[in-house]
Chains A and B, each alone.
Chain A
């Protein structure tokens, strides 16, 4: 895909703004750019996943500043070269596999959604058939992660294992980093927020590396606890706690809210075009962006019952 210089710059500035990066760095790129650029391919592999992060990306909506993509169609037609993505691509069967081979022959960014099962020799998850052989997620990630210019893990399953790796971890799910030792940018969330995905991909395409915390998460999105940004924080300070789920105007801490231990910008960013987020709907934060998700008790008292 080729893209005009103007669009690319707009995009980089949008990404930089979103991630709190220095916009002047982008300005310097100006001199280096030809009139048209070939965008790097993005290869999106799905392992032990639910496609919730792909669906979440489809909820992308640009903000009023008009920087960066306005929605999914704009993202796909004007900004990224999504060469292989099972959920959205037209090519199917052998044609899809050819596209994967072509896209990974040159420079590409690997996006991984879902965990990587290792039980049953990886056969709990195969991703395609090539030359008559089923290729497991484990084999595909091993092959492509080392060739990619960057690996971005989208969602908690890819980043930390998530639900498929919880409990007895029935299929031996591991992460890209555990499997290959290759460092990754992690965008956990169940699902990941579309802004987190689009903003990070934008930065990576522009050749910028966002500042990451020690879990590989961009600090621009995962820098503060839910609790510290929560509109109900004053209620916590006043000791006004909810007795049951659904109680309005109370802090949900004593019902098991994970807000104090969970780093994400949900309260300020909002979900689904800013309409809502978990705590605002009187449900506690379940800590879905943290490595410990899901904890054995997602809420200490889910029922509405008073003691």
Chain B
């Protein structure tokens, strides 16, 4: 006979996540991933001045606001057919990179580590579950203060060019408002070099230690094995540091317009009106609660009507920068290595930027449809915007990485990626399903983004 195990709230992640596990003979037979906060950003954006969008959409999420700012200005610029010069793009990417790094460090040390080893012996880390906590990670926990410092420094680094973090001030379609001076570049470089040292001497070795103590997690929490990235971080030669693409059956395909047109949002199992899956270019977000059969505020985006996993592991594998597999532990490994790839690239961009930003670029906002694709720390992010002739936002649709990863079942009842990763997992103690929580955290879910 099966029992239902509920984890609510799932703590140490952004937002409101509830998990229902159907467990039979210590095995997860079914899983429901439920997003529990709806705010309605997409309807709030309708009728607004386009210039507001980069500032409003950043406030979707306090952990990855910069990615929303980036997607939003790219979408607005796409409407106008505008491509900013490489200098402006480097400045934006330096801010974006700073936020990736703070998010990755935050995720490992403050959100995930306590699943594997006890935190300091006082609140908010104690009491906690006491199950399968293996010795060998005491030294890793000792790095918590250094990690908090490095994360803070990453935010400070970004703020040098964007005013403040979280919720950057300097995101404007057409360019970026910050003036780049040699003093700011030097301040940025100094912070970056100590952060690179932290990543090389602590973060990456600490994740290595984790995988040595918990090697079984290379077999746990696999998921659908479909990977998707939109790509981000502009290089001097007009390529991207992380190219967009898909990976299925170990085969990598570049992201093309056909694939982008094949993205649709399923809402049969979500608390929104309708049952028809639509492209985000045409879909609307109309809440309907209660709704027969629905169980989450998260929609179910699908590519070619299939679920895809997004995140650092997808980016790193699609770009042949990570050779491991797909699992709970591979997600941690890829994330830590990605932090170093980005940080080192940022050091190169700093060499190349000059004082050219903050100038009058001549940008004018056109009306029409635009698409902004980028990456957030936890995976690919897209903003689809339509600006009316009256120069207000006619429609705005956002699909975030956690929307894919933490999605409910699709119209044809196929489970979302996190649900698939949970199903089949062996649970030692039904009252303390730590295996499930470790799998959930490996995706670095952000529910404020998933639903908005």
Residue among A56, A91, A281, A305 making CB contact with B129, cutoff 8 Å: A91
Query: Does residue B39 face the partner (Cβ distance < 8 Å to A)?
Result: yes
Within 8 A of B (CB), among A215-274: 243-248, 271-273
Roughly how many angstroms separate A52 CA and B103 CA in the complex, as a whole number?
A: 12
With known contacts A58-B152, A87-B11, A89-B11, A126–B36 Cβ distance under 8 A: yes
Which A residues are CB-close (under 8 A) to B175?
Answer: 246, 304
Contacting residues, chain A, for B360 (C-beta < 8 A): 243-244, 246-247, 304-306
Asked whether any CB of chain A lies closer than 8 Å to the CB of B179, the reply is: yes
Shortest C-beta distance, B445 to chain A (Å), equals 12
Best-surrounded residue of B38, B110, B129, B437 (most CB of chain A within 10 A):
B38
- Asked if B18 is at the interface of the complex by the 8 Å CB criterion, the answer is yes
Residues of chain B within 8 A (CB-CB) of A83 are 123-124
- CB pair A246–B179 under 8 Å, yes or no, is yes
| Residue interface mask A50-94, B partner, CB < 8 A = 1 | 111111101111000000000111001100011111111111111
Which residues of the other chain, B, contact A208 by a CB distance below 8 angstroms? none
A38 sits at the interface (CB 8 A): no
- Which of A94, A273, A304 has its CB near the most chain B CB atoms (within 10 A)? A304
- CB of B163 within 8 A of CB of A127, answer no
A168 to B42 alpha-carbon distance, docked (Å):
11
Contacts of B61 in A (CB 8 A): 50-52
Q: Residues 269-283 of chain A: 1 if any B CB is under 8 Å from the residue's CB, otherwise 0?
A: 001110111111111
Give B291 Cβ to nearest chain A Cβ, in Å.
Answer: 10
Instruction: Judge if B32 is at the interface, Cβ distance under 8 Å.
Output: no
A125 and B10 form a contact (CB under 8 A): no
* A92 and B177 form a contact (CB under 8 A): no
Interface bits B344-371 vs A (CB < 8 Å: 1, else 0)? 0000000000000111111111000000
Q: Which of B40, B119, B128, B156 contacts A273 (CB 8 A)?
A: B156
Which residue from A85, A117, A248, A278 sits with its C-beta under 8 Å from B358? A248
**Minimal Cβ-Cβ distance residue in A for B288:** A120
Residue A210 interfacial (CB < 8 Å): no
**Interface residues in A92-121 (C-beta closer than 8 Å to B):** 92-97, 99, 117, 120
Q: In the complex the two chains form, is A71's CB within 8 Å of B16's CB?
A: no
Which of B6, B43, B50, B176 meets A168, CB within 8 Å? B43
Residues of B near A84 (CB, < 8 A) are 124
B11 and A96 contact, CB distance less than 8 A: yes
Asked if B48 and A296 make an inter-chain contact with CB atoms under 8 angstroms apart, the answer reads: yes
Q: Quick one: closest A residue to B19, CB to CB?
A: A93
Determine if A275 and B11 form an interchain contact, defined as CB atoms under 8 angstroms apart: no
Q: Do A170 and B179 have beta carbons less than 8 Å apart? A: no
B174 adjacent to chain A (CB < 8 Å): yes
Sample of 15 further A-B pairs with CB below 8 A, known A46-B15, A92-B129, A302-B51 = A52-B167, A55-B106, A87-B14, A90-B119, A90-B129, A92-B7, A132-B6, A170-B287, A171-B287, A281-B177, A282-B178, A286-B169, A294-B52, A296-B48, A296-B52
9 contacts between A and B (CB under 8 A): A46-B16, A71-B152, A89-B123, A124-B297, A132-B6, A170-B44, A170-B287, A275-B159, A303-B364
Residues of B within 8 A of A (CB): 6-16, 18, 36-41, 43-44, 46-52, 55-56, 59-63, 65, 106, 110, 114, 118-120, 122-129, 144-145, 148-149, 151-152, 155-156, 158-167, 169-170, 172-179, 187, 287, 289-290, 297, 357-365, 431-433, 437, 448
